[in-house]
Amino acid sequence: MKNEILDTPFLDTFEDFLDKDEKILWTGFTAENVDSIYIRNKDGSYSLNYGKLFLKILDFGMEFLTAVLIIGTPIAFYIFVEPATWKMYVPIIILFLLNFFFHYFIKNRRNNEYAITSKRILFQFARLPKNEIHQVLFSELKDCIVTLDKDHYGVIFLAAKNPQNLPDQLFEMDRHSPTLERIENPEEVAKIIRAVIRNA
């Protein structure tokens, strides 16, 4: 596809790549279910997310140990010699550091972002540099399909006329078509896409 990668070292927002006669109709991002320790596989099944499970264990362990130390430190101060008291804080310091790093790398990671314009769909993937933006022109699409999750989120599959001509970067998790992953109110977003396809 011509100009499927729109990258520049100075621009990294969707507005920076719009043509003069182009406007944004919708923007969104991949919503992560931060409360769930399960992830959805490409076949629709669910598997355990060990990173989130470990993060929840860390959270619980830190809260429990904090409560123990708050209650137990004054008592221990009078029972044990003073040099032994500071050692009680080593586990909570370790838990705090682990908790911080896992929250930073797992919970606060960048999500995929999408924009629907009057001419195309723009993709900004978290796994790629932020200034690397991909596109699919509406003239290259024939329809879209929505699959709903248990909540009000879902995946939008873009049915391309010639998917073999699209760049590999557009295919998430070995999908057979480009997707907008875990979008809020996907059926409403699909209506916007279909309306622009009809007029493309």
DSSP three-state, residue 89: helix
Domain match, 56 and 13 both? no
Domain match, 58 and 85 both? yes
List 7's β-bridge partners, or say none: 132
Q: What is the residue range of 93's domain? A: 47-107
Question: Where is the domain boundary, 62, 81, 107?
Answer: 107
User: What secondary structure does DSSP assign to 120-184, as a single string?
Assistant: EEEEE-TTS-TTEEEEEEGGGEEEEEEEE-SSSEEEEEEEESSGGGS-GGG-GGG-SS-EEEEEE
Distance CA 176, CA 171 (A): 7
In one-letter notation, the amino acid at residue 93 is I
Domain match, 60 and 117 both? no
Q: Is residue 120 part of a domain?
A: yes
Question: Where is the domain boundary, 59, 79, 107?
Answer: 107
Give me the residue label for tokens 């860390």.
58
Q: Is residue 193 part of a domain?
A: yes
Domain match, 77 and 12 both? no
Give the tokens for residue 160. Answer: 């391309």
Q: Is residue 95 part of a domain?
A: yes
Distance CA 58, CA 52 (A): 10
Write down the pTM of the prediction.
0.62
Amino acid 12: pLDDT: 64
Domain match, 18 and 65 both? no
Distance CA 160, CA 178 (A): 8
Domain match, 147 and 162 both? yes
Q: Is residue 40 part of a domain?
A: no
Alpha helix (H) residue ranges in 21-49: none
Q: Is residue 78 part of a domain?
A: yes
Can you give the CATH number for the domain in which 25 is found?
Answer: 2.30.29.30
129-166 confidence digits (pLDDT tens): 766 789 999 999 999 999 987 767 899 999 999 988 88
Q: Is residue 38 part of a domain?
A: no
Count structural domains, the chain.
2
Amino acid 57: pLDDT: 77
Domain match, 161 and 190 both? yes
Distance CA 70, CA 96 (A): 15
Give me the residue label for tokens 């200034």.
131
Q: Is residue 39 part of a domain?
A: no
Domain match, 194 and 115 both? yes
Domain match, 184 and 135 both? yes
Local confidence band at 41 (pLDDT 50, 70, 90 cut-offs): low
Question: Where is the domain boundary, 107, 135, 155?
Answer: 107
Alpha helix (H) residue ranges in 80-128: 82-85, 90-102
Domain match, 55 and 23 both? no
Domain match, 75 and 129 both? no
Q: Is residue 36 part of a domain?
A: no
In one-letter notation, the amino acid at residue 128 is L
169-194 confidence digits (pLDDT tens): 888 767 889 999 889 899 999 999 99
Amino acid 176: pLDDT: 86
pLDDT > 80? residue 24: yes
Local confidence band at 31 (pLDDT 50, 70, 90 cut-offs): confident
